[in-house]
């Protein structure tokens, strides 16, 4: 196991909890919608980057390897969830309102083990 994994268990869990709180994920609600993520929420997640780089091994994460990535906060969140055997499942919902088709992206946070 990498040194950061063993050494900073509590700090890493706190960062995960902060991100889940920002996204509104808890025991009852396991889903968030892309259009619910405001610029303020994105900035809150980006504000954790210094801590994330300190407590996680981030060298292989796409959000740091690729320069032009859309929704970098989502890639960052996915990478942290992977550290806890979690993942984000994407579900696309379409509806018709007033003759206009609307697509809503829903993201479900799933953990394969207890955290």
Q: How confident is the model at residue 108 (pLDDT cuts 50, 70, 90)?
A: very high
Distance CA 107, CA 87 (A): 10
On the question of pLDDT at 32 being above 90, the answer is yes
pLDDT of 1 over the 70 cut: no
C-beta atoms surrounding 93 within 10 Å: 10
Tens of pLDDT, residue by residue over 64-83, are 888 788 889 999 999 999 99
Average pLDDT of the chain, as a whole number: 88
Q: Measured between alpha carbons, how far is 17 from 65 in angstroms, rounded to an integer?
A: 24
24: left (phi over 0), alpha (psi -120 to 50) or beta: left
- Structural domain total, the chain: 1
Quick one: which of 109, 106, 55 has its CA closest to 82? 109
The model's pTM is 0.84
The parent domain of residue 36 ranges over 3-111
The mean-pLDDT minimum among 31-40, 45-54, 59-68 falls in 59-68
Residue 4 confidence class, pLDDT cut points 50, 70, 90: low
Residues 6+ apart with CB under 8 A from 30: 108, 109, 110
């Amino acid at each position: 196991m990498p040194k950061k994994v063993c050494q900073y268990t509590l700090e890493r869990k706190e960062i995960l909890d902060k991100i889940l709180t920002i996204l509104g994920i808890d025991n009852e609600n396991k889903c968030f919608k892309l259009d619910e993520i405001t610029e303020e929420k994105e900035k809150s997640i980006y504000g954790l980057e210094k801590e994330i780089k300190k407590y996680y091994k981030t060298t292989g994460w796409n959000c740091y390897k690729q320069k032009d990535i859309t929704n970098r906060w989502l890639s960052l969140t996915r990478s942290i969830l992977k550290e806890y055997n979690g993942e984000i499942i994407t579900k696309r919902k379409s509806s018709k309102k007033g003759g206009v088709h609307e697509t809503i992206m829903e993201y479900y946070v799933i953990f394969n083990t207890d955290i």
